[in-house]
A and B are shown apart, each in its own frame.
Chain A
């Protein structure tokens, strides 16, 4: 392992962001916080995207590793011990400087800090804690911070970090324990799930403390389990890491909740297994998000897909679609997939697929159907369904009005009626509708696997010539 400690900052940034890029989550959502008097920064509930990288993924946070040194040798990981790459680390000061300076130029919404395991999980977690403490207390940074929990780190450290971060996440890495054992010998399910449970309990406890005090415990607008800060005092023991409550100000424990990530396509698990696990993570661990990461084959190993294998992007996309159906549309994993049909339809999105297999529920009458049923109509999302519910209180809706309130009928019209009438003469018949919808989707699915770009040429486009000439 070549370790270079005193590289210039630019080189470090290049290495340590390159090493962090396979982590998917870059969201800055889930917490609303006003700016403070002494410091800099605020946070908005819906998060803010600051840029989009060449792969089309949102850049919201400064996503870097503390260090890419690692004692583990997880086969799928680019930073595994046995890879012959340059290793380096940020000092806490360097990281704070970068975060603050990027933030005040509005490049980022905050920091996403992960790390390779240097020497021990505890030592690594403590390093992370140092950065956060410095950033929050000395630089008075009030923006968003997402931190990786290090599997195997002590409960006390996880706790201390939790009071400084907005979101924490522990990566499940692989959907099954067998997969983990095979590819990540240094990690176990237990080491990952224990801190996950601890964070969940921490969030719950805080919620109880906030409500028990009889203070304001206003439910947040998305109906989730988070409460807005009241002014109740949290009774908490002073931690040896010095994160005790300062007078009059209350720290909250992981206010934006926790998330996790699974790698898709490195091992043999099918979509049904993955989705079932995601479902139970939402239910049992109350996670905010589960992220899926199409495996990019970089490492040579007999247990892994060959180097250069295309990442399964469409599969990842389907999993995200299904994930949304679980979280916002009231679907259960077993409605979408089953042992007999364990993988997603390549051609149809999961919701359409479900609808076409359950034509007995359709067409749905827009003016009468309940909210849950509206949500099940392909093409009608949460916003549209809510708007329909509101709009039909005052008047019967017809197709024109549906369009006007922003419902896209392209797909939906096969499945709905307005005042008993369909938009066109449509046969409610599986083959017919499937064919029609496939025509709509064809180009998009194709694009997903064969990314094509073109740029519209403009007559006046002198961008290159003007410069070089």
Chain B
């Protein structure tokens, strides 16, 4: 068995595909994975993939030219997935793709095609949800304010969300932090992805912060609901609890919906100040 270990980025994965393809190893002896999930097994030769921009671009270009743009999109999204088998799935999909061309996208009979499609769909669904559920807070002192958002997605969404918000808020300085991966997307004069120090982020998050509009939105959120139609099941199906950690209208995450609806204003305010006070401890508890 030969296992390729690559960096968990689209570039890293594409490089691994390039290397494995070039080495012409038979499928039943080949395994590709990202370096994070390290469970070394016996009788396996591990090959570390050195991420190489040029190789990655070559792979991307061949997907466009020999398969289709749609295939590229699917593979790119799949490469952002958090599923362990994604690199294998992408490799085998591309193998079929180079064999059949654009037709491969219709060949749902092939397991490889279905798997990449599944990965693509799950990343794209989560991305769609987060496009709506990301909440920016205005943080910092006068003159040095930025918009800061925190998320906790299953998949690596920063490149996709970054692109979306860069188009939307072209003039703004904003940062999106992925708590799980301790990474941030920074948008200002330039835009880039980078690892971040979560302790610093926490400190920034608890610093000076403009809450006036957060309160206004909470007011709006409460008064827009029709009491006679209350339906928390539907609310939770459409906006699952795991997305709510940083959504201000759910006041810092796991707010009690029933009291929120019935109790009105006072309770919300209480709830909010408390969650601000307890700081990191409170945030930590959401992870469960």
Instruction: List residues of chain A with CB under 8 Å of any chain B CB.
Output: 9-10, 13-15, 17-18, 20-22, 34-42, 44, 48-60, 62-63, 98, 101-102, 104-107, 109, 143, 294, 296, 310-311, 313, 387, 390-391, 393-395, 397, 401, 404-405, 447, 451-453, 458, 460-464, 466-468
Cβ of A54 and Cβ of B275 under 8 Å apart?
no
Task: List chain A residues, Cβ under 8 A from B215.
Answer: 10
Q: Which of B36-44, B75-83, B127-135, B152-160 is the contact stretch?
A: B127-135
- Given A10-B215, A49-B132, A468-B274, check contact A54 B230 (CB 8 Å): yes
- Encoded as 1 (CB less than 8 Å from any A CB) or 0, chain B from 215 to 232 comes to 111011111111111111
* Residues in B257-279 with C-beta less than 8 Å from chain A: 257-258, 260-261, 271, 274-275, 278
Question: B227 — which chain A residues lie within 8 A by C-beta?
Answer: 55
In the bound complex, what is the Cα–Cα distance between A18 and B221 (angstroms)? 10
Q: Mark B228-254, 1 if CB is under 8 A from A, else 0.
A: 111111111111000000011100011
Which residues of A lie under 8 Å from residue B172 when comparing CB positions? Answer: 40, 104
The verdict on B8 contacting chain A, using a C-beta distance below 8 Å, is no
Which of B132, B168, B247, B282 is within 8 Å of A40, CB to CB? B168
Asked if residues A50 and B132 are in contact (CB atoms below 8 Å), the reply is yes
Give the chain A neighbours of B137 by CB distance below 8 A. Answer: 105
Chain B residues lying within 8 Å of A447, measured Cβ to Cβ, are 233
Which residue of B108, B134, B248, B258 has the most chain A CB atoms within 10 A of its CB atom?
B108
Size of B's binding interface in residues, CB under 8 A: 71
Chain A residue with Cβ nearest B247: A51
List B contacts of A51 (CB < 8 A). Answer: 132-133, 221, 239, 247, 249
Listed residue (A57, A105, A405) with the most chain B CB atoms within 10 angstroms of its CB: A105
Q: Which residues of B have CB within 8 Å of A463?
A: 253-254, 256, 285
A466 contact set on B, CB distance < 8 A: 278, 281-282, 285
On B, residues with C-beta under 8 Å from A are 103, 105-109, 111, 114, 128, 131-138, 147, 149, 165-172, 213-217, 219-239, 247-249, 253-254, 256-258, 260-261, 271, 274-275, 278, 281-282, 285, 288
Count of CB-CB pairs between chains A and B under 8 Å: 192
Q: Which residues of A contact B260 (CB under 8 A)?
A: 54
CB <8 Å contact, A397 and B232: no
Chain B interface SS verdict (over half)? helix
Beyond A48-B131, A391-B107, 18 extra complex contacts between A and B, CB < 8 Å: A10-B219, A21-B224, A35-B167, A40-B169, A51-B221, A51-B247, A54-B231, A63-B224, A105-B135, A107-B249, A391-B109, A394-B106, A397-B109, A447-B233, A461-B254, A463-B256, A464-B256, A468-B274
Q: How far is A63 from B225 in the complex, measured between Cα atoms in Å? A: 11
| Whole-angstrom distance between the Cβ of B258 and the nearest chain A Cβ | 8
Q: Are A405 and B213 in contact (CB under 8 A)?
A: no
Q: Are A395 and B234 in contact (CB under 8 A)?
A: no
Q: Is A296 within 8 A of B226, CB to CB?
A: yes
